[in-house]
Structure 1
Amino acid sequence: MPEEVLFETEQSMSRADIATYLRTVADNLEGGDAITLEAGDQSVTLEPPAQPTFEVKAEREGPVDGSGELSIELELEWDENADGGTEGDGELRIE
């Protein structure tokens, strides 16, 4: 399926600043509000449904026997014309 990037930004920032962004997303999700992303001349507003699919992934990229790059990816997915998610592999816990 073709992919169209609607918004993308990447920058180094403090853990506290990242937490502030995540809290804003969490507050908007909990309140049923749209989420607007803005950076420079880019802007997009999305309205997640009541039951989007939530994907969490931890990755390590690089050689098996050397240093690599670690990442945590948090992704919300939903069909533009649907209001529901899919069953997962079990209850997610983040500590």
Structure 2
Amino acid sequence: MPEETLFESEQLMGRDAVADYLRTLADSLEAGSDVTLRAGEQSVTMSPPGEVEFEVKAEREGPTDGNGELSIEVELEWPENATQGGSLSIE
């Protein structure tokens, strides 16, 4: 299935700033609001439905016998034509 990137931003941030960003995202989800992602001149607004597929993944990339790179990936996914309904729950 082809994939189109609508928005992408990668930057070095302190842990507090990342937590604030995630908290703002969480507040928008909890309120049922649209989510706007913005960096410089680029932005996208999305309307997640009440139920989304929630994925959390921890990964390590690099050689098995040396230093690699660790990551935590968080993904919310839903059908493009999804209707509102249900509730999002993260425990």
RMSD of aligned Cα (Å): 1.4
Give the letter aligned to residue 4 of structure 2. Answer: E
Give the gaps of 5 or more residues in structure 1: 85-91
Give the letter aligned to residue 16 of structure 1. Answer: D
Alignment coverage as a number of residue pairs: 86
Write the distance in 1 (CA, Å) between the matches of 2:79 and 2:63.
35
Partner of 2:19: 19
Partner of 1:37: 37
Shift of 1:81: 1.4
Partner of 1:80: 80
Spell out, residue by residue over 1:33-65, the C-alpha distance to the aligned partner (whole angstroms, 9 max, x if none). Answer: 010001111010001010000010000000011
TM-score (ref. length: structure 1): 0.86
Give the letter aligned to residue 80 of structure 2. Answer: E
Give the letter aligned to residue 59 of structure 1. Answer: E
Shift of 1:83: 4.1
Paired-residue identity, %: 65
Shift of 1:82: 2.4
Which 4+ stretches in 1 moved above 2 angstroms? Answer: none
Partner of 1:5: 5
Give the gaps of 5 or more residues in structure 2: 85-89
